[in-house]
Structure 1
Amino acid sequence: MSNQLLVRRAAVLGAGVMGAQIAAHLTNAGVDTVLFDLAAKEGAPNGIVDKAIANLAKLSPAPLASKALAERLTAANYDTGLELLRDCDLVIEAIAERMDWKQDLYKKIADHVPDHAVLASNTSGLGINKLAEVLPEKLRHRFLGVHFFNPPRYMHLAELIPAKTTDAAVLEGLETFLTTTLGKGVVIAKDTPNFIGNRVGVFSMLAAMHHTEQFGLGFDTVDALTGPAIGRPKSATYRTADVVGLDTMAHVIKTMGDTLPDDPWHQYFKSPKWLTALVEKGALGQKAGAGFYTKKGKDILVLDLKAQDYRVSAGELDADIAALLKEKDPAKKFAALRASTNPQAQFLWAVFRDSFHYSAFHLESIADTARDVDFAMRWGYGWSLGPFETWQAAGWKQVADWIAEDIVAGKAMANAPLPNWVFDGRDGVHNKDGSYSPGRNAQVPRSSNPVYARQRFPDALIGEKFSQGQTVFENDGIRLWADDGDDIAVISFKTKMHTVNDHVLNGIQEAIGIAEKKFKGVVIWQPKEPFSAGADLSGALGLLQAGDLKGFEAMVANFQATSQRIKYSLVPVVAAVRGLALGGGCEFQMHSARSVFALESYIGLVEAGVGLLPAGGGLKEFAVRASEAAGPGGDVFAELKTAFESVAMGKVSTSAFEARELKLARDGDRVVFNAFELLHVAKAQARALAESGYRPPLPARRIQVAGDVGIATFKMMLVNMLEGRFISPHDYEIATRIATVICGGEVDRNALVDEEWLLKLEREHFVALAQMPKTQERIAHMLKTGKPLRN
């Protein structure tokens, strides 16, 4: 058993943007959290914190997984609230990045922190050992640094930085808590300025800025070069700086300059002239409305240094370079970049070269292994591959020789030599035995902390392979597989975006039949997001356009049959959902015995957007649930209202919690914070259901429906929306049909119907809508543009 850090209650000190969001995420995870700040000068003493909590609802992306969670936070101040710390198991300090302020606060709270609690400083680069100096002896072994990345709910990375005095058990306990409870990817860093992520990440931005000038490129061109084209986030270099805030950027660069005087790249640790000029002008980026970019009406403008003014942002990649970057073989791609005389190619080679050089030179001092650097850049900066992985994929030895040549020729940013281990005959830093550690001069396997046993498929580095299990059955749509000796099988889809076509439908039905004979349960899980983007629209449209109405009707009936097969399987079927679960994907999880959701699950029945209604049993399921919730003779209509609005408006949840509020998930469904633990938890749920004597539900034969009165009431709402021009006549048509199905058709209020009746209604209205020209226009538009058409 690992060293568990049992956290019933936590405190966050500092209600600034970062502190408030950390508190929000602790609350998301079900941790009772107290948020502290200074006492307000006037008004209520907790006024500063109250304001910060209210502000959480305004931030985008939302720090809270449900708006209702804001009331669960407790507000406190340092003058009257310190007694509240006595009940806390974890205290995270997140005040401004000033050593003296942080140390003063520690002196103030030290006597109130209980003897078992862990104290962590959320800092992006201050010395942890220096911070620890002011703590009393009894607290030092329970103190360490933790660095959450912004925004803390969404960024996977959390760096843990032990002080010399930190107990190993405290480090392991907090790592376990961050991983499972908060869903983070933890990297353990050494106590060096800016730790790992920001040390390498900010350097790579500085290198891009330096080479922007050197090769005379526009800021928008650099962003086109350093975004998705090379596997980096859309915000690339300068848009990222605008989002972070140019004042913050300048401060981080200055900190590097002040704290790293001996770094061979020190001469570059100062803000370029144009960055300083923007900060002095108050053009601090997104928060000020202008930075490297600004908006004018609908146009996005970019700063042009030569003209000293903004111009319309074009940011085009040279056609040759765009083609070169599409090359699948990294070795060929890097050779072409280095050989090219095109300034865009030279820029990219230079940025890669200097980042590789910097990472290799500093690896031993900042991290234990190359794995830590690669994960820090992936999880904290959104790179698809870390610097060492990129280098290894491009051919380790060849790239190392090129970097060495450039250093000798004076082309690299610094003349420090590459470390000797780079040239010891290796083909890279990651292999099946682990990742290279210069400090230990060995390949080091992944962490043995027991928490990682919950990750069957952890995030894989280049050179790592995880067993894909044994295939039990597969067709063109799905694969049914299991690990050796396991009693729970897994269904994974093989289609693009895991859309649902006939192969998937037939495959699921067959797989469940096999599982009933050979396994105790089944999990539907995809190795990569999304869970499922819904039905394969192009196949459906093809049948319609060919006039094959029989084939089209048969496909809908098969969809429903598959959902029913999931629901009435003799072994529990558990859906393990992360990312998008739209349309049919949502309906499959509605029919499963239980769903397990990753926190970031975006779930919706969005068929109305393509002019259709859900017909994979989703509307039938809402009617069944409403009848069960209302009870005999109860108010079925009241139970349907939320579900109807969710479907008619095509709402998509922004978290698993919100999916419950929209009635797209059940109250008993589990929510998992670490997406890499999803399969583990789903299998555990399936096994628990099986072991506790699972039987499928009995067929629903007496479903009480809202009937004609329900339909009429929904129509009144819709007429008002139509007259107010909030919806189009075709929207009205679709929504009326949704209301008709969900209320059980034109029957008396509280009439009793069975599932077959509701499924038939679904099919009839689905097929009728599908034949309408306006619906076919919507489907064609969605296939062409990926966006819904309002017609």
Structure 2
Amino acid sequence: MNKTIRKAAVIGSGIMGSGIAAHLANVGISCLLLDVVPKQLTEEEAVKGLTLENPAVRNRLALSAIAKLAKTKPAPLYDNSFASRITAGNLEDDLSKLAQVDWIIEVVVENLEVKKGLLQKIESVWTPGTIVSSNTSGISINDMAASCGDEFKEHFMGTHFFNPPRYMKLLEIIPGEHTRPELVSFMKGFCEKVLGKGVVLAKDTPNFIGNRIGTYGLLVTLKEMTENGFTVEEVDAVTGPAMGRPKSATFRTLDLVGLDTFVHVADNVYNHVLSESERSIFAVPPMLQTMVEKGWLGEKSGQGFYVKKKVSGGSEILSLDLTSMEYVPQKKPKSASLEAAKLAKGAKEKTKALLAANDRYSKLAWDILKQVLVYSAEKVGEIADSIQEIDDAMKWGFSWELGPFEAWDAIGLQRSVERMEAEGLSVPAWVKEWIAAGNSSFYKKEEGKLYSIQIGTSQYKEVEFAPEVINLRSLKERNKVIKGNSGASLIDLGDDVACLEFHSPNNAIGEDILSMITQSLDEVRKNYKGMVIANQGRNFCVGANIMLLLMEAQDEEWDEINGIIHQFQNTMYKVKRFEKPVVAAPHRMCLGGGVEACMPADQVVASAETYYGLVEVGVGLIPAGGGCKELALRASQQAIVDGVELQPFINHAFQTVGTATVSSSGYDAKRLGYLRPTDRVVANQDFSIHEAKQTVLGFANTDYKPIPEEKIRVAGSEGKAVLQLGAIEMKRGGYITDHDLLIAKKLAHVLAGGDVPAGSLVTEQYMLDLEREAFLSLCGEPKTQQRMHYMLTKGKALRN
């Protein structure tokens, strides 16, 4: 379809509306943000002498929402400068501007009559062909557009973003009965590729997919809890990671969502479903109603199922006793089932372990899960056409590691159905027919391809993915591994491009990964056009293997540590000088050595949600795998290109590394200088390996030349003195410790190029030697070893 979206309008500047506008701005779409005109002045406006006719007053709601974006946590914007892409306005003065945009998104209050009236206003200025959508979380799309013209209805649909819009992957697209199929297809592709979303197609039913299943699951949990006398913390212990669900589990999730919001969502189903038995499940429990009446709404009101109270020496989180309706100290639940789930690896094994133990927590998990599975099966065909859309909605919208049907497969389909029926639960006929046809699971894999049940038949159907999605696990299952060891594998991506995948614990870089990088370069040199460095772990790389370094330092094996760092530096140098293109595709956490593994690449294609940083000072060290050298080189290049002094660039690098600053996004990594202006950021992490592969091919199909060696102009002893003086002032002000100062002085020495005269030209090897010497000397410091040990045991930095 020959259509594009360059400009959009969002109507409604509340939390969701401003968040959606921010995310449109994130991906380069200019956005008009409109809201109603205020009816009275604020005190501040009156003091300034403004009137109700002043544009600053008339646009106040949208202007205020845009201003808040820079202060909101988690940050709605990839970079605060992107707020300039959003223009504030109001529905009276700027309604006609809707005729100039490509997409109009309605994000006003969840009230059918309000939404219907707004759509009629929009239609009065609407340009035929413009897409219009509603961000409703559950109101009927057809009912909303009932009074609109036929052509308008053809261009109208639901686009339900989950909160916060930047971070939540799920986007439900809900076509109306008149929506053009080609527009639905276009929007699905656009939202996946440009907005980076995981899109599911939902039917126009109450609460669509995610909120329908999610709300049901929460209400069933509350019912089981009250009937069987479980506490808030007991339920959260069972319904969190032990079941492959988020740490927020049930009640922390409700507190985050807001109890009033949850009650509204539940009421929407209660008021619109016809089945009395289903309505009864969605009747809000009196206990929840009482909490809402008391104003105990969760985080936004300061208390819900949990509350933070000040105690001597700090604060304590108390949980609500639902019997007395008073807050009491938490009691951590312990049981064989919870311990078994904790020890198991992966969501499938955790769920199986939790259910296998014969205790009350195991029974609670089963009693909740069985009802959610059956309800999900009952809704197939009603809320969605496939089980995959239901599974994806729950994984992307509620952060479940397994969707309902994936969980059903994990616990054993036939065995679990037999148990359900023995306990009096009515399992949908289609599930029993599927089993009777000889099938033992809803999904199966064959030759690296995924198949799922084709509803209405006894046949499996291949699950289709966007062509831009490359799945490394699938490639490995299809025997595409070229070579590998315990830490990494080289995988054939097709088209003569190979992918180096890290798969050590936490993808931490050790000797095994370094060895595989060298072997991979040899293989690619002979048989491939180039190489991608990427993986699909939870995080790209948490850095180097600190445990190994600490053990060697405690044993005073300085030659071993020197050898490890030398190997790391030499390996990265080989990557940088490799005669064929190398492209890195980091995602999520990419720290320390992970950043240094990306820096030598010809280009970095980072996921938008890449949290990138050289954080070695947090464990009492400095970057020594080429990170300092690369920042000094970039500073030298930038100063030459801009024809300005070098010192400000070195100051910036010193501050960034010295404070262990981590980027808040891929774009923020550019601002910090970790990524180069030529590096790219992609919105959808699922597409990043494909984009990296295409970049390799683009390099390979030109007259590719490896990155040449060049001298680095350094700030020298004068620049070093400037950096160290700043650190000394920080120490005098009480902002850093003596050991922080020692680390800062070492870092200054390296980034400035040592004690040579200012402006000296040095080699990359000279800078690497400075890195290694400083790193080795810090490894011998007892306080650095304390920091490494603390990070390994506590998972956070020690200030000593």
Tell me what 1:648 maps to.
658
Paired residue for 2:182? 169
Question: Is the CA contact (8 Å cut-off) linking 1:225 and 1:317 kept in structure 2?
Answer: no
Distance in 2 (CA, whole Å) between partners of 1:454 and 1:655 is: 22
Q: Kindly tell me: are residues 29 and 467 of structure 1, through their superposed partners in 2, closer, same or farther at Cα, counting changes over 3 Å?
A: farther
Corresponding residue for 1:385?
A: 402
- Structure 2, unpaired ranges of 5+: 40-51
SS in 2 for 1:491: strand
Structure 1 distance, partners of 2:307, 2:490, is 51
The answer (yes or no) to whether the contact 1:331–1:395 under 8 Å persists in 2 is no
Name which of 540, 551, 562 aligns with 1:553. 562
Relative distance call for 1:324 and 1:695 in structure 2 (3 A) is: closer
Aligned counterpart for 2:505 among listed residues 473, 493, 496: 496
TM-aligned CA distance change 1:680 to 1:686, over 3 Å? same
Match of 1:301 in 2: 318
Matching residue of 2:109: 96
Work out the CA distance in 2 between the residues paired with 1:441 and 1:185: 28
Aligned equivalent of 1:154: 167
Residue 753 of structure 1 deviates from its aligned partner by 1.4
Distance (whole Å) between structure 2 residues aligned to residue 466 and residue 515 of structure 1: 18
Residue 29 of structure 1: aligned partner = 27
1:183 and 2:196 aligned: yes
State the distance in 2 between where 1:67 and 1:516 align: 42
- Name which of 441, 450, 457 aligns with 2:471: 457
Alpha carbons of structure 1 residues 435 and 646: separation in structure 2 relative to 1, 3 Å:
same
Give 2:553's aligned residue. Answer: 544
Does the CA contact (< 8 Å) of 2:244 and 2:402 recur in 1? Answer: yes
Q: Which secondary structure state, in structure 2, belongs to the residue aligned with residue 302 of structure 1?
A: strand
Equivalence for 1:689: 699
- Structure 1 residue 92: Cα displacement: 1.2
Tell me, yes or no, if the aligned pair for 2:490 and 2:501 is still in contact at 8 Å: yes
**For 1:263 and 1:189, how far apart are their aligned partners in 2?**
23
The answer (yes or no) to whether the contact 2:242–2:338 under 8 Å persists in 1 is no
CA distance in 1, matches of 2:218, 2:675: 42
2:337 and 2:362 in contact (8 A); partners too: no
Q: Distance in 1 between matches of 2:125 and 2:241?
A: 48
What do the CA deviations read for 1:749-770 (whole angstroms, capped 9, x no partner)?
1122111211111111111111
2:421 to 393, 404, 409: 404
Matched, 1:75 2:88: yes
Structure 1 CA distance for aligned equivalents of residues 634 and 300 of structure 2: 46
Which residue of structure 1 lines up, in the alignment, with residue 463 of structure 2?
446
Q: 2:436 aligns with which of 424, 435, 444?
A: 424
The structural deviation recorded for 1:203 is: 0.1
2:685 matches 1:675: yes
Give the superposition deviation at 1:107: 0.6
Map 1:373-772 onto structure 2 (within 5 A). 373-407=390-424, 421=433, 423-425=435-437, 426-432=439-445, 434-439=451-456, 442-447=459-464, 452-457=466-471, 467-468=477-478, 470-484=480-494, 486-631=495-640, 634-701=644-711, 703-772=712-781
How far 1:335 sits from its partner (Å)? Answer: 8.4
- Tell me if the contact between 2:575 and 2:600 (Cα under 8 Å) persists in the aligned partners: yes
- Give the number of equivalent residue pairs: 775
2:4 is matched with which residue? 6
Counterpart contact for 2:666–2:681, Cα < 8 Å:
yes
For the 8 Å contact 2:635–2:650, the answer to whether it is kept is yes
Q: Which amino acid aligns with 2:381?
A: E
Report the CA distance shift for 1:442/1:468 in structure 2 as closer, same or farther (over 3 A): closer
Instruction: Report if the CA contact (8 A) 1:607-1:650 is conserved.
Output: yes
Query: Aligned partners of 2:367, 2:664: CA distance in 1, in Å?
Result: 40
Residues 1:643 and 1:771: Cα distance change in structure 2 (over 3 Å): same
Distance 1:418 1:550 in 2: 66
What is the aligned partner in structure 2 of residue 58 from structure 1?
Answer: 71
What are the superposed Cα offsets for residues 63-92 of structure 1, whole Å, 9 maximum, x if unpaired? 111111112211121101122222211111
Aligned residue identity for 2:468: R
Contact 1:364/1:439 (8 A) holds in 2 = no
Q: Distance in 2 between matches of 1:704 and 1:579?
A: 33
Does 1:117 pair with 2:115?
Answer: no
| CA-CA distance at 1:328 after TM superposition | 6.7
Q: Is the 8 A contact 2:347 2:401 kept in 1?
A: no
In 2, Cα distance between equivalents of 1:265 and 1:287: 30
Write out aligned runs for 1:31-50 (5 A): 31-41=29-39, 42=52, 43=54, 44=56, 45-50=58-63
Using a 3 Å threshold, how does the CA distance of structure 1 residues 442 and 142 change in structure 2: closer, same or farther?
Answer: farther
2 CA distance for matches of 1:83 and 1:516?
A: 60
Q: Distance in 2 between matches of 1:744 and 1:496?
A: 35
Correspondence list, 1:295-334, <5 A: 295-297=308-310, 298-323=315-340, 326=343
Q: Deviations over 1:235-266 (max 9, x none)?
A: 11111111111111111111111111315332
Corresponding residue of 2:45: none
- Counterpart of 2:363? 346
In the TM superposition, 1:204-283 aligns within 5 A as: 204-262=217-275, 264-283=277-296
Q: Which of 195, 200, 205 is 2:208 aligned to?
A: 195
**SS of match in other structure, 1:725:** coil
How far off its partner does 1:168 sit?
1.1
**Contact 1:88/1:113 (CA < 8 Å) preserved in 2?**
no
Contact 2:605 2:680 (C-alpha < 8 Å) held by counterparts: yes
Give 1:186's aligned amino acid: V
The 1:241/1:151 distance shift into structure 2, 3 A limit, reads same
Whole-Å separation in 1 of the counterparts to 2:551 and 2:431: 60
- Label 1:465 to 1:711 Cα distance change in 2 as closer, same or farther (>3 A): closer
Q: In the TM superposition, what is the alpha-carbon distance from 1:112 to its structure 2 partner?
A: 2.0
In the aligned structure 2, how far is the partner of 1:494 from the partner of 1:333? 21
Does the aligned pair in 2 maintain the 1:524–1:574 contact within 8 Å?
A: yes
Q: Which runs of 5+ in 1 are unaligned?
A: none
Q: Which amino acid aligns with 1:377?
A: M
Equivalents in 1 of 2:554, 2:145: separation in Å?
A: 71
1:15 corresponding residue in structure 2: 13
Q: 1:265 to 1:422 in 2, by over 3 A?
A: farther
SS in 2 for 1:453: coil
* 1:439 Cα deviation after fit: 4.9
Moved more, 136-145 or 203-212: 136-145
Distance 1:331 1:398 in 2: 16
- When the two structures are superposed, what TM-score results if normalisation uses the length of structure 1? 0.94
The SS at the match of 2:681 is strand
Q: Which amino acid in structure 2 is aligned with residue 9 of structure 1?
A: K
Instruction: Give, in whole Å, the separation in 1 of the partners of 2:619 and 2:356.
Output: 48
SS in 1 for 2:333: coil
Runs of 4+ in 1 over 4 A off after TM superposition: 324-341, 414-420, 439-442, 464-469
What is the Cα deviation at residue 419 of structure 1? Answer: 6.1
Q: 1:660, 1:398 → 2: CA distance? A: 53
- SS of the residue corresponding to residue 130 of structure 1 reads helix
* Fraction of identical pairs, as percent: 37
Aligned pair in 2 of structure 1 residues 241, 5: CA closer, same or farther (>3 Å)?
farther
1:651/1:551 Cα in 2 relative to 1: closer, same or farther (>3 Å)? same
Change (3 A) 1:327 1:538: closer
Could you tell me whether the CA contact under 8 Å between 1:516 and 1:571 is conserved in 2?
Answer: yes
Deviations 1:18-49 (A, max 9, x none): 11101111111111111111123335221110
Q: Is the 8 A contact 1:361 1:419 kept in 2?
A: no
Residues of 1 paired with 2:309 and 2:490: CA distance?
53
Q: CA deviation at 1:739?
A: 1.0
- In 1, Cα distance between the equivalents of 2:349 and 2:508? 34
Residue by residue over 1:438-478, the C-alpha shift from the partner in whole angstroms, topping out at 9 and shown as x without a partner, is 35665443347xxx0000129x9xxx887555222323432
Amino acid at match of 2:630: E
Change in Cα spacing, 1:471 to 1:356, as seen in structure 2 (3 Å) is: closer
